[in-house]
Amino acid sequence: MRPPAFWQDDAPRGSAALTRALLTPLGALYAALGAWRIARATPQRAGIPVICVGNLTLGGTGKTPVVRALVEQLRQDGLRAASLSRGWKGRLDGPVRVAPDHHTAGDVGDEPLLLARTGEAWIARDRAAGALAMQAEGVDVIVMDDGHQNPSLHKDLSLVVVDGEAGWGAGRVFPAGPLREPVARGLARADAVIVMMPDSETQPDYRRLQLVDSPLPVVRAWLEPGEAPPEGRLLAFAGIGRPQKFYDALARAGGELAETASFPDHHAFSNAELERLADLAAAHRARLVTTEKDWVRLSPDWRKQVAAWPVEVRFSAPAHVSDLLRQSVDGAAKPG
């Protein structure tokens, strides 16, 4: 789905404010049900450390690239680290280890398939069952992609990722706004916050993000190109939470954008849509380019015709992130 305009704090006044006001009672019910579910749960311990990379909003914040970076960091530390995802929009329930040469996005979801291209990745609708299966197969550390609001599995480290530009939107809980739960409640269960910015120079508005007086460690992060954009004119398309972030990043990296085309998050591209995009690219004498997450949802034939532009997470304080990981792994290893 595309986020409605009234979810944002810069939406025009009048109708947006009225819409939010009308939907706020439903948001209060949604928040209350979520709080009740968390309060009554008894989280399952996996027997190995579980690091959760979650968020407080619906839509893309940059969780998956963070998960990929943390898995790689843990692997460099000599640990068998693997990601665990729900497998959103995939047909398999799991637990199952994702095989990128065997599974499709239709089987396991696009994000797990993307994570499996660079590291070990698992999916499970039942997160606790997935974690136990991973532990039984010899995984040392689990990095869970999303799940901050899922109380079924004990977390040894909870990281909340927030888009530093979009923030918490209008600060209302779904459906009145993009929040999955009230900010204060969500941050109370977190151990640290990662603020995703468009580049290394831009500073977050910590007051707007309600982080000025927060006792939580806060780390800035951003995405950097894994390689230069494809040469020549480009027709960029994306079906992610905030496609404009992808286009802006391409342009900052020197990509020559002739046209862009945006789709809802996790969009399943039809052959007809891709043919129209190819025709439009031909009219512009441009090459098709998309995100890695979108690229894994394409058929093998279309992957040959579309370039995937990779990006990687960079942290403002990588040593701090490493310390958080080490402390969570060491703490989980202690008896009791």
Task: Tell me the CA distances in angstroms from 8 to 68, 195, 242, 243, 253, one per residue in order.
Answer: 28, 18, 13, 16, 27
Sign of CA dihedral 272, 274, 275, 280: positive
What are the phi and psi torsion angles at 157 (to 5°)? -150, 125
Nearest 5°: the CA angle 298, 303, 306 is 105
Rounded Cα–Cα distance for residues 290 and 184 (Å): 36
Contact between residue 44 and residue 131 where contact means Cβ atoms under 8 Å apart: yes
Tokens standing for residue 216: 């939580």
Is the bond preceding 95 in cis, omega lying within 30 degrees of 0?
yes
What are the phi and psi torsion angles at 139 (to 5°)? -70, 140
Binding-site residue numbers for ATP are 57-64
The candidate with the shortest Cα–Cα distance to 96, out of 116, 114, 76, is 116
Binding-site residue numbers are 57-64
Rounded Cα–Cα distance for residues 235 and 226 (Å): 19
Helix (H) or strand (E) holding 260: strand 256-262
- Report which residue type is found at 136: A
